[in-house]
Amino acid sequence: MLQKIFTHIFILLLTILSYLPFWVLYLLSDFLFVILYYLFKYRRKVVNDNLAASFPLKTLHERNLIAKLFFAYLSDLIVETIKMISISAEEAQKRFNIINPELIDNYVKKDRNVIMVAGHYGNWEMANVMGFVTDKKKLVIYKPLTNKIFNDFLNHVRSKFSAIMVPMKMVMRTLVQLRNEPTISFFLSDQTPVAHEANYFTQFLNQHTAVFLGVEKIAKTTNGVVVFCNVSILKRGYYSCEFVPLVEEPKLTAEYEITQSHTRYLEKIINENPAYWLWSHKRWKF
């Protein structure tokens, strides 16, 4: 009961904060950065260990600079995510620009399912504006939180631009129900599988890494085109996304070829600009 009360109070506070203008939220972000990085040293060891293992050829100074830039980005990400609670469609589209929406539109006009793949890179919460790309069903695949009240609240926020939130375990059932119409399914592919689902490992950022096979399985089952969402950071609070086709004929691919394709692409963009990936995540558990 007490947890429910605290959750509702927390949601109310977040909602109130979300109505602050961006310039005020970024002042809060600057303050939050000092707290996370200097005062509490939030997950500094996790971040430093991940960077050391991922970039063994970089100097300690180079890795420390990446870590510092990452925490500044993380602070911005937190306040931007709060802003998503009340942000208007116009403001969101202005801040998250889709470069080539016609690519997706062309696929769905041919009755092709589309499997969108991204990582925890840039602002994946603001990426919900991809719901405006087409009027077809947009499914966002997610891992449910243990706190049901907060989980329902997040789903409400994430679905405000016409997305349909689908728990990972319900993906196939949902796609079967929608089999008579083209759909777009959005996956964050760099989450860590639970131990009993860690069936495939590959080298990712210089480490032996368990990778979800869900994207590959769904693509082959639905014959869905696999498209990577390449997010770029333009400046503070502004992003662009370019859709990059990876696999157009999934049923013709070899086993694990699709998984390798999207994993290598994510690795490429992280290597190019590493500060904007979620280094505080305990990605390598096994």
pTM metric for this prediction: 0.93
Averaged pLDDT of the chain: 93
Closest CA to 205 of 278, 268, 275: 268
pLDDT band at 1 (very low <50, low <70, confident <90, very high): confident
| Share of residues in the chain with pLDDT > 70 (%) | 100
Chain centroid to CA 134 = 20
pLDDT band at 184 (very low <50, low <70, confident <90, very high): very high
Confidence at residue 285, expressed as pLDDT on a 0 to 100 scale: 81
Euclidean distance between CA atoms 163 and 139, whole angstroms: 6
Structure tokens at 12: 């109310």
Q: Are 37 and 66 in contact (CB under 8 A)?
A: no
Residues 149-173: tens digit of each pLDDT: 999 999 999 988 888 899 988 988 9
Measured over the CA atoms of residue 82, residue 28, residue 233 and residue 102, the dihedral's sign is positive
User: Could you tell me the CA-to-CA distances from 36 to 28, 68, 69 in Å, in that order?
Assistant: 12, 10, 12
- The residue behind tokens 């349909």 is 164
In this structure, the number of other CB atoms found within 10 A of the CB of residue 79 comes to 21
Residues 208-226: tens digit of each pLDDT: 999 989 999 999 999 999 9
| Share of residues in the chain with pLDDT > 90 (%) | 78
Residue 240 predicted with pLDDT over 80? yes
Confidence at residue 244, expressed as pLDDT on a 0 to 100 scale: 97
Q: Which is more confidently placed, 278 or 161? A: 278
Euclidean distance between CA atoms 171 and 168, whole angstroms: 6
Q: Which is more confidently placed, 135 or 146? A: 146
pLDDT band at 227 (very low <50, low <70, confident <90, very high): very high
Phi-psi region of 220 (alpha: psi -120 to 50; beta: other; left: phi over 0): alpha
Structure tokens at 244: 């990059």
pLDDT band at 131 (very low <50, low <70, confident <90, very high): confident
Residue 197 predicted with pLDDT over 90? no
Please name the amino acid found at residue 278.
L
Of the listed ranges 14-28, 192-206, 252-266, 272-286, the least confidently predicted one is: 192-206
Euclidean distance between CA atoms 156 and 110, whole angstroms: 31
DSSP E strands in the chain: the ranges are: 96-98, 114-118, 137-142, 163-167, 183-188, 201-204, 207-210, 225-235, 238-247
